[in-house]
Amino acid sequence: MSDGQPADTAEPNSSQGEQEEEEEAGGNSLDWLLKANGSERIPAPMDTNVSITRQSIPAIDSFYSKAFSREKVFEAASTGNTSQLDGLLDYLRVHDKKLTSPQFTDETNGKTALLKALLNLKEGRNDTVEVLLDIAEKTSDLENLINASYKDPCYKGQTALHIAIERRSFDHVTLLVQKGADVQAKASGKFFQRHAGLGFYFGELPLSLAACTNQPSTVSFLMENSSRRADSTDRDSQGNTVLHALAVIADNTTENTEMIAKMYDQILTQHNKLEKKVQLETIENNQGLTPLKLAAKLGKIGLFRHLLQREFKDEEMRPLSRKFTEWVYGPVHSSLYDMSSINTDEHNSVLEIIVFGSEIPNRPEMLQIQPLRSLLEDKWDRFASKLFLINFMAYLIYLTIFTMVAVYRKEGQPPFPVEHDPLDILRCVGEVVSLLGAAGSSINRLLSSGGTPPPSRHSTRMDSVTSCSSCRRHSSSSAPFCTSVGEGIRRTAGALAGSGLDQCPVLL
């Protein structure tokens, strides 16, 4: 302020002098030439060092915009220089503006000064963040500024909370949530979708982003803070929860599998403490897949093994286990497995997904994981071996008939009239059998390639007997549990070399 007037209403002579000084400092550079032609520089989407230019519109540019423009505020936010924001609050009040007004946002992508500041944290700090939030609060614009998101198709939906989590700044995450950040905001732009090429899919939600980037403290805060708790059952545009997102980013390496498994268990146990009525693992995505089924379909063998053999020792969390150890004797132990969503008595079961998913990587190895291995062996012993023998004999008879028809085929060109001769009648019957057999085989192959066939009545009846009274006492769930299976400790290197226990499990 000078003589009771705003700083931007200085005398024309002084403004002209300042303009001349700027022109002298710029020399003959390209930047000076662009400014002289009435254009200004704006940043490209997200936050890069590449700039593009646009012509300014004189009708929109007001006389007062020279004091605080978007470029000036963005520069202060990117450098963390709070002194450049001195007087901004007074300017906004005098001109009835807000930090979310079009004058202070990037019209190409919707980026605000707060998003700019969070993208430019240095060692986890940028003092302009607190200044901008304070100004927004005093201009009654705090909620709008905090929850402002990108509008362009590439980064659509990304908010300040997403950026703070991605920058791994727990202090800023805490600050934003306490100030009213939307913990269910979804970053649904193309950059955040599952597709080949440059991008990062993390489940769109802030909680999913924190989980996929391995930030346990941030995950705990989002799920348990007193301001606003994140809903772990919320789903993204693909129907995936945070557990689905973890299954997607798993890559089967040892380090990644340990991280994903630990984060998965943390979210599962925290959700169980907060909400026992809703089972997080039973939620299906748009493809009808639970996290376990998704891990099976994507061939994420490391996470898949952990989910099947997960066992919690804590009595409160024991119902979340899928494996229950009955007894241990030396290198052998007897375990019960939760078979819900695994066995073929359910539609689109885990076993069906793996067996009929020819494109699934690691499929043979996944079938060797307990309890799938023992389940397949049990099915083979009960009925599959008999069905195989019946199919083999039927196919052998079919090939015999087909061969005999080909050997005793009449000479000449068809059609051949049927003669009243036993051998000719037999040949005609054989041709009909060959034709029907070929048609049936083709239809069967067509149905098999079109989708996984439903389990037969026989297989469902045989599978259902796996439930037993000793299994049900471990869980209040009515889902069937596998019969007890003794396992050799094959995971211990050299523990039982040559003993035979490392080749197959002991069925008790």
> Dihedral (C-alpha) 219, 225, 227, 233: value to the nearest 10 degrees?
50
Same domain, 270 and 409: no
Domain annotation covers residue 442: yes
Residue 77 C-alpha from the chain's centroid: 32
Domain annotation covers residue 437: yes
Same domain, 474 and 444: no
The predicted pLDDT at position 50 comes to 52
Same domain, 197 and 289: yes
Percent of the chain, pLDDT > 70? 74
**pLDDT at residue 471 tops 70:** no
Same domain, 292 and 330: no
Sign of CA dihedral 286, 291, 296, 302: positive
* CB environment 269-298: b (16+ within 10 A), e (fewer): ebbbeeeeeebbbebbbeeebbbbbbbbbb
Domain annotation covers residue 231: yes
Mean pLDDT of 131-155: 94
Which domain does 505 fall in, by range?
Answer: 322-338+466-508
**pLDDT at residue 507 tops 80:** no
Same domain, 486 and 458: no
pLDDT tier for residue 280 given thresholds of 50, 70 and 90: very high
Q: What is the CATH number of the domain that holds 217?
A: 1.25.40.20
**pLDDT at residue 270 tops 60:** yes
Rounded to whole angstroms, how far apart are CA atoms 67 and 85? 11
Backbone φ and ψ of 125, nearest 5°: -130, 145
User: How do residues 388-431 score in pLDDT, each as one tens digit?
Assistant: 999 899 889 888 888 888 887 777 677 777 677 777 778 788 88
Answer yes or no: are the C-beta atoms of 109 and 103 closer than 8 Å.
no
Rounded to whole angstroms, how far apart are CA atoms 132 and 74? 11
**pLDDT at residue 28 tops 60:** no
Eight-class DSSP state of 411: S
Same domain, 204 and 291: yes
User: How do residues 193-234 score in pLDDT, each as one tens digit?
Assistant: 987 667 789 999 999 999 999 999 999 999 999 889 999 999
Decide which of 121 and 429 is more confident. Answer: 121
pLDDT tier for residue 449 given thresholds of 50, 70 and 90: low
Same domain, 473 and 448: no
pLDDT averaged over every residue in the chain: 78
Minimum mean pLDDT range among 6-20, 59-73, 361-375:
6-20
Same domain, 454 and 492: no
Mean pLDDT of 111-139: 94
Decide which of 463 and 351 is more confident. Answer: 351
pLDDT tier for residue 443 given thresholds of 50, 70 and 90: confident
Domain annotation covers residue 378: yes
Residues in the chain: 508
Domain count, the chain: 3
Same domain, 429 and 470: no
Q: Residue 86's closest CA among 120, 53, 131? A: 131
User: How do residues 64-94 score in pLDDT, each as one tens digit?
Assistant: 444 889 999 999 999 999 999 999 999 999 9
Rounded to whole angstroms, how far apart are CA atoms 206 and 184? 7
The predicted pLDDT at position 427 comes to 77
User: Radius of gyration (Cα) for the chain, nearest Å?
Assistant: 34
Rounded to whole angstroms, how far apart are CA atoms 276 and 274? 7
Same domain, 326 and 473: yes
Domain annotation covers residue 436: yes
Domain annotation covers residue 489: yes
Same domain, 192 and 302: yes
Same domain, 223 and 257: yes
Domain annotation covers residue 99: no
Domain annotation covers residue 405: yes
**pLDDT at residue 492 tops 50:** no
